[in-house]
Structure 1
């Protein structure tokens, strides 16, 4: 089972994970890290979550077929796909797209101000 974790984390934490992986040669898991909750929420909109849920576990499909299945405009779906490809949540092979993960986790913490 392939899992990816979407998180809000500091550069320091992300670099620490990289260092551990480099030193130990052991996989640390797959992560997409954002510097803030605001950035995460601006990038992973509800429409983009819908795209991920629709594609997950399905055979690769075209953007046009996905847009038709979602009842959305092809141009807008294409824009969403581009953003998700850039951060690594969707893979593109020719004209086909797919979500390669069996599980997508989102983790963040909201703390009371000091």
Structure 2
């Protein structure tokens, strides 16, 4: 059976610059406190913010214009219906957009 080691528990030489922070405490104790309620995912031309209930993506669309996608992961886990731009979801989309931009900036990147 293959196993996977933890980089932060290894005796191997560590890179000078590391992105993010260790989740070792959660691996050691799944009941441990943690702060994150979302995950930032980078793809070739954009970023995705994933929460328990939502997936929000910003990326370079056609002609280099910025595009977005918003999915309700509870009602639409296969992401068939893009809710971005729908007035009923404007508040949720704005909140997720602001969080995405803050997470990207904190990671040293930019969404534009």
Taking structure 1 as the reference length, the TM-score comes to 0.29
Larger RCO (CA within 8 A; separation ≥ 6) = 1
> Quick check: which one's helix share is greater?
1
